[in-house]
Amino acid sequence: MRKVAIIGSGPSGCFTAQGILKARPDWTVDVYDTLPVPYGLVRYGVAADHQGTKAITRQFERIFERQGARFFGNVTLGRDVTLEALRAAYDAVVLATGLSGDRDHGLGRAEGVIGAGQLTRALYDHPDAGRLPDVRGEVIVLGNGNVAVDVLRLLAKTEAELQDSDLGAEASAWLAGRPIDGLTILGRSPAAAARFDPVMIRELGRLQGVSIRVADLPEAGGDKLIEALDGLDGLATGPRPVTFRFGCRPAGIDTDAAGRIRALRVEGPRGPEVLACDTLITAIGFCCDGSLGRDALMAAAEDAEAGRIAAGLYAVGWFRRGPRGTIPENRAESLAVAQRIVEEVEAAPPRAGAGAGILPAGHEVVDWAGWKRLDAHELAAAIAGRCRTKITTRAGMLTLCREKEDAR
Ligand SMILES: Cc1cc2nc3c(=O)[nH]c(=O)nc-3n(C[C@H](O)[C@H](O)[C@H](O)COP(=O)(O)OP(=O)(O)OC[C@H]3O[C@@H](n4cnc5c(N)ncnc54)[C@H](O)[C@@H]3O)c2cc1C
């Protein structure tokens, strides 16, 4: 029987497991994750108020509960196990570890300049996130993509609009208490070249406490995004000002005596401008945090387009193609790579590797049953108006994963 290790249990890792097990139900497919919990950015990136998107996890559950994939949580590639050891132990290894660093904005560091990844991880209770940052005053969200829209929407929503999300008590109180004077979403590209999903722009039209202005819009001419943006312009449901700006290239930041940002300088459509800014949230993409030598591995890949790094070593998802693409795009790519893995593994002689037997003795691994215990606990512990209360520390997660039902 052939054995495949998938490192990362986000969408790309799960879809790869699904594809392999659909084609070869008798193979061993082991999915590893550094966290005790599965699903990657579905849990820690997809917006807390988009529970419909997160429902993809029901499909992922079936991979472990019906298709036979095994979950090995709390196992970090590069710390608990090496890539070399995995490659010797399995017929194929798939890198699906995503990209967790915020892309550098080149504007320099200052108090009040925050990456969208840093902010969303803190809001969504990622165990490795820092504290919730000090977001206040005039807030500019820099970026022309859907992550920027997510950040804007969450900061603009009233408490009542966050009903049924999976925000924790601390994040909910933090959002409710932000002393925000105004929100501006600002991008380099003109409106027609922005990468916002028109559906997400239309969703902003349902916000209850905002007054929206969209500057520098061209004629729609049938363009769905421009039509959606045009539909927002002038919306007035409450006091919080929200402004869309396009065609503004950031040129630098000014700070106050305490080192906190106070202005963003831009080259706007009508020349240089200085925009008051007490908080700058950059949502301009993600990058490798330097671990796993991702950039070198992908640069040396035999066929990076098809996800093949070398014989028996593959890459999928954001790890392979960079921080682009939604969950459905990962599905299409991962299923294609899964197909290739099946063909290439079958064409090669079987490896007598030890599979998961290579894990260091005594290392605490979270299996699927352990995750389900934690999942049940988090659902049961949901506070009023929320669908889940996440456990925020690895130690806390491990304790609950360990706890048998009858021991409670
Ligand atoms: C803020 C945000 C919001 C988004 N919202 C949406 C949305 O609404 N709809 C949508 O379709 N797409 C959305 N996306 C995009 C979507 O999340 C990605 O397309 C998808 O998650 C990429 O999947 P992945 O498996 O490649 O990476 P990830 O989801 O990042 O999964 C990587 C996994 O690898 C694990 N890992 C990392 N390093 C190691 C290691 N050394 N050892 C073991 N495991 C490791 C991580 O813990 C993680 O579980 C959003 C992205 C972001 C950042």
Task: Quickly list DSSP for 104-143.
Answer: P-SS---BTEEEHHHHHHHHTT-TT--PPP---EEEEEE-
Amino acid at 208: Q
Beta carbons of 33 and 72 less than 8 angstroms apart: yes
Q: Whose CA is nearest to atom 21 of ligand 1?
A: 41
DSSP category for residue 81: B
CA 9 to ligand 1: nearest atom: 49
Instruction: List the structure tokens of 190.
Output: 């003109």
Which protein residues are within 6 Å of ligand 1, measured from CB?
Answer: 7-13, 32-35, 40-41, 45-47, 50, 53, 76-78, 96-98, 120, 147, 150, 291-292, 317-319, 325-327, 330
Cα 110 to middle of ligand 1, angstroms: 27
Distances 6 to 44, 90, 211, 286, 344 between C-alpha atoms, Å: 19, 10, 47, 22, 16
- Check if CATH label 3.50.50.60 holds for domain 103-285: yes
> Residue 254 in contact with residue 140, Cβ under 8 Å?
no
- Residue to mutate, 41, 77, 95, ligand 1, most ligand atoms under 8 Å from C-beta: 41
In CATH, the architecture of 3-99+288-407 is: 3-Layer(aba) Sandwich (3.40)
Q: What is the pLDDT of residue 352?
A: 87
Sign, CA torsion 31/35/36/41 = negative
Distance 52 CA to ligand 1 centre (A): 17
Under a CB-based contact definition with an 8 Å cutoff, are residues 176 and 240 in contact? no
* Mutation choice for ligand 1 from 9, 59, 97, CB with most ligand atoms inside 8 A: 97
How far apart are the CA of 316 and the centre of ligand 1, in A? 11
Rounded to two decimals, what is the model's pTM?
A: 0.96
Q: How far is the CA of 41 from the centre of ligand 1 (A)?
A: 3
Q: pLDDT tens, position by position, for the chain (408 residues)?
A: 899 999 999 999 999 999 999 999 999 999 999 999 999 999 999 999 999 999 999 999 999 999 999 999 999 999 999 999 999 999 999 999 999 888 899 998 999 999 999 999 999 999 999 999 999 999 999 999 999 999 999 999 999 999 999 999 999 999 999 999 999 999 999 999 999 999 999 999 999 999 999 998 999 889 999 999 999 999 999 999 999 999 999 999 999 999 999 999 999 999 999 999 999 999 998 888 777 899 999 999 999 999 999 999 999 999 999 998 999 999 999 999 999 999 999 999 998 889 999 999 999 999 999 999 999 999 999 999 999 999 999 999 999 999 865 454
Give the start-to-end residue ranges of the domains of the chain.
3-99+288-407, 103-285
**Nearest to 56, CA basis, from 7, 11, 8:** 11
The answer to whether 353 and 130 have CB atoms below 8 angstroms apart is no
